[in-house]
């Protein structure tokens, strides 16, 4: 089910009082859902969790006005694959180990008007941002 349709169905069920007790709320919707009064304050429960087990940024995303309304549920596994022949042709000797090295490799791999040095899945800005949210 596409996210916009899922969101619409969720909002209708929340407004009608026939919503599930628990569910997945995309981080992009959290502020809107909290403002509408659809979400419970989970701060007391969240305080019982060891926040060292989570990345910091998802907790910030789950927080509105210093209250926690969501518990981070996962860190998506992502991988980067690369074409060794293209790396060699561009003069990139090894896979980058830092973000600075990654940016430099991408610049070397870019051929203006023909190929980008890096590409990834992302139907919209929020999808793309979500891909990096856990590591920022």
- Of 24, 40, 68, the residue that ends a domain is 68
Q: Tell me the two tokens of residue 95.
A: 């896979």
What is the CATH classification number for the domain harbouring 44? 3.40.190.10
The parent domain of residue 128 ranges over 84-133
Residue 43 in any domain: the answer is yes
Residue 75 lies in a domain: no
Residues 61 and 89 in one domain: no
Terminal Cα-to-Cα distance of the chain (whole angstroms):
28
pLDDT tens string 90-125: 999 998 988 899 899 999 999 999 999 988 766 566
- Based on the structure, what is the number of domains in the chain? 2
Number of Cβ atoms within 10 Å of the Cβ of 70? 22
Task: Say yes or no: 11 and 52 in one domain.
Answer: yes
Q: Look at 96 and 75; give whichever has higher pLDDT.
A: 96
Do 47 and 97 have their domain in common?
Answer: no
What does the pLDDT read at residue 72?
81
Q: What is the DSSP string of 88-122?
A: HHHT--S---SHHHHHHHHHHH-BTTTB-S-----
């Amino acid at each position: 089910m596409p996210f916009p349709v899922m969101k619409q169905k969720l909002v209708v069920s929340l407004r009608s009082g026939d919503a599930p007790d628990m569910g997945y709320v995309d981080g992009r919707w959290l502020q809107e859902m909290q403002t509408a009064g659809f979400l419970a304050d989970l701060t007391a429960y969240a305080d019982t969790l060891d926040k060292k087990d989570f990345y910091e940024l998802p907790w910030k995303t789950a927080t509105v006005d210093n209250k926690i309304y969501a518990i981070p549920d996962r860190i998506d596994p992502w991988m980067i694959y690369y074409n060794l022949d293209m790396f060699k042709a561009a003069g990139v000797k090894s896979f980058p180990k830092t973000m600075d090295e990654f940016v430099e490799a991408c610049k070397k791999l870019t051929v203006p008007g023909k190929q980008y040095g890096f590409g990834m899945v992302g139907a919209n800005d929020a999808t793309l941002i979500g891909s990096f949210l856990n590591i920022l």
